[in-house]
Amino acid sequence: MDAEFVRNTIWALRTFGSEDSGIEAKRAESKLPESLAESLSAFANTPEGGTVLLGVDESANFAVTGVTNAAKVQADLAAMARDRFTPPLQPSIGMFEIEGKVVICAEVVELPRDQKPCYVTSKGISRGSYIRIGDGDRRLTSEEVQQLISDRGQPRFDQETVQEAELDDLDPRAIQVMLARVRSNNPRLFANESDDVVLKMLGVLKKAPDGDLRPTVAGLLTLGRYPQQYFPQLCLTFVHYPTTTGENPATSTRFLDNVRVDGPIPEMAREALAVIQRNMSRRALISGTGRQDVWEYPPEALREAVVNALVHRDLSPGSRGTQVQVEMYPDRLRILNPGGLFGAVDITRLGEEGVSSSRNSSLLKILEDVVIPGESRTICENRGSGIRTMRNELSRAGMSPPNFYDRVTSFEVVMPNHTLFDEATVRWLAVIGRDGLRDTQRTALALMRRNEVLDNAKYRAATGISDSRIATTELQDLVARELVEQTGTRGSARYSLSDSAKSWEEADDTKRVRPNRRRQFLDLLAAHGNLSKSEVSSLLNVNVKTAEHWLGTLRREGKIQFAEPGRGSKNTRYRLTDKADQGEIFEV
Question: 564 pLDDT exceeds 70?
Answer: no
Closest CA to 419 of 256, 328, 277, 287: 287
pLDDT at 505: 65
Q: Are domains 423-502 and 517-576 of this chain identical in fold?
A: yes
- Residue 416 has φ and ψ, to the nearest 5°, of -65, 140
pLDDT at 586: 41
Question: 508 pLDDT exceeds 60?
Answer: no
* Averaged pLDDT for residues 534-539: 85
Using pLDDT thresholds of 50, 70 and 90, give the confidence band for residue 165: very high
pLDDT at 344: 67
* Averaged pLDDT for residues 201-207: 95
Question: Which comes out higher in pLDDT, residue 577 or 363?
Answer: 363
pLDDT at 528: 87
Asked if the 517-576 domain carries CATH number 1.10.10.10, the reply is yes
User: pLDDT tens for residues 129-142?
Assistant: 999 887 788 999 88
> So where are the chain's domains?
3-140, 157-228, 423-502, 517-576
* Averaged pLDDT for residues 183-194: 93
Using pLDDT thresholds of 50, 70 and 90, give the confidence band for residue 283: low
pLDDT at 1: 64
pLDDT at 383: 64
User: pLDDT tens for residues 49-86?
Assistant: 889 999 999 888 899 999 998 999 999 999 999 999 99
pLDDT at 128: 94
Question: 163 pLDDT exceeds 80?
Answer: yes
Closest CA to 521 of 471, 480, 488: 480
Between CA 194 and CA 543 the distance in angstroms is: 73
Question: 90 pLDDT exceeds 70?
Answer: yes
**Mean of the per-residue pLDDT values of the chain:** 85
pLDDT at 588: 39
pLDDT at 585: 39
- Angle at which helices 517-528 and 533-540 pack, to 10 degrees? 110
User: pLDDT tens for residues 19-33?
Assistant: 567 889 998 888 899
Which residues, in sequence order, are CB contacts of 266 under 8 Å at separation 6+?
Answer: 174, 222, 367, 370, 371, 372, 373, 379
Domain 423-502 class in CATH: mainly alpha
For residues 294 and 280, the answer to whether their CB atoms sit within 8 Å is no
105-114, 172-181, 398-407, 468-477: range with highest mean pLDDT: 172-181
pLDDT at 311: 94
DSSP label at residue 250: T
User: pLDDT tens for residues 450-492?
Assistant: 888 898 888 888 887 878 889 988 998 888 888 898 887 666 7
The pairing of beta strand 23-26 with beta strand 50-54: parallel
Question: 355 pLDDT exceeds 70?
Answer: no
User: pLDDT tens for residues 256-276?
Assistant: 999 999 999 999 999 999 999
pLDDT at 114: 83
- Helix, strand, coil: what percent of the chain each, to 5? 40, 20, 40
**Rounded percentage of the chain residues whose pLDDT exceeds 70:** 90
pLDDT at 336: 96
Using alpha carbons, list the distances in angstroms from residue 559 to 287, 520, 525: 39, 13, 11
User: pLDDT tens for residues 291-335?
Assistant: 566 678 999 999 999 999 999 999 999 899 999 999 999 989 999
pLDDT at 278: 92
- Residue 394 has φ and ψ, to the nearest 5°, of -65, -40
pTM comes to 0.74
User: pLDDT tens for residues 211-250?
Assistant: 899 999 999 999 999 999 999 999 999 999 999 888 887 7
Q: What kind of architecture, by CATH, is found in domain 3-140?
A: 2-Layer Sandwich (3.30)
Closest CA to 234 of 378, 382, 406, 360: 360
Closest CA to 444 of 72, 432, 75, 434: 432
For residues 24 and 51, the answer to whether their CB atoms sit within 8 Å is yes
Using pLDDT thresholds of 50, 70 and 90, give the confidence band for residue 535: confident
The H or E element containing residue 416 is: strand 410-416
* Averaged pLDDT for residues 34-39: 92
Question: 143 pLDDT exceeds 60?
Answer: yes
Task: Give the 3-state DSSP-derived string for 119-184, with helices as H, strands as E and coil as C.
Answer: EEHHHHHHHCEEEEECCEEEECCHHHHHHHHHCCCCCCHHHCECCCCCHHHECHHHHHHHHHHHHH
Between CA 480 and CA 169 the distance in angstroms is: 64
